[in-house]
Amino acid sequence: MSNKKNKKLTPTQQQYQAFAKAREPEPSVVRNCLRAFLVGGLICTFGQALQMMFINYFNFTEETAGDPTVAVLIIISTLLTGFGMYDHIAQWAGAGTIIPVTGFANTVASASIEHRSEGFVLGVGGNMFKLAGSVIAYGVFSAFVVAIIKITIQALGGM
């Protein structure tokens, strides 16, 4: 493909392309992964601490403690998004802030705030799931398929 592209360019342009490519900063995958590991791990550890707090002090069980934990994480992430701090952290941490449930809340909150100027119904209401919608759509559809397959297999006597 790059040969096809190069044919259209003059020799000088080709030289420049090679020159520019050699000087592009290498995207440091290792550094990004370390940051993602650190921040993602810390968010999960914080979630674990919240979960233990709800179990030990508020009489939740291991099963039910998930809901308040997620809710608290979402409140914190929404507030940080509103104050414009989540984007700064996300810039540094990459997937470390996108993958935990806080990233889901961040996309909902940031889309809501961003489209506020278009009105509360068409702007906020209509665009709230602009980024988070794909997660819900693919999650629900794949869960539906998986559940149907599993039920069919069980009905046929397997598993």
Partner 1 sequence: MEKFLWAFVVGGSICVVAQIMMDVFKLTPAHTTSTLVVVGAILGGLGWYEPIIKFAGAGASVPISSFGNSLVKGALEEAKRSGIIGVLAGIFEVTSAGISAAIIFGFMSALIFKPKG
Residue placing its CB nearer to partner 1 in the complex, 18 or 149: 149
Tokens describing residue 44: 């999960």
138: Cα separation from own chain's centroid: 14
Residue placing its CB nearer to partner 1 in the complex, 9 or 125: 125
* Contact call for residue 144 and partner 1 (CB under 8 A): yes
Residue placing its CB nearer to partner 1 in the complex, 9 or 136: 136
**Of 79, 88, 122, 158, which one interacts with partner 1 (CB under 8 A)?**
79
Q: Enter the DSSP assignment of 26.
A: P
* Contact call for residue 83 and partner 1 (CB under 8 A): yes
Q: Enter the DSSP assignment of 25.
A: P
3-state secondary structure of 59: coil
What's the rounded Cα separation, in Å, for the pair 55 and 151?
A: 33
Binding flags for partner 1, 106-125, as an x/- string (CB under 8 A): --xx-xxxx-xx--x---x-
Tokens describing residue 29: 């995958």
Residue placing its CB nearer to partner 1 in the complex, 15 or 82: 82
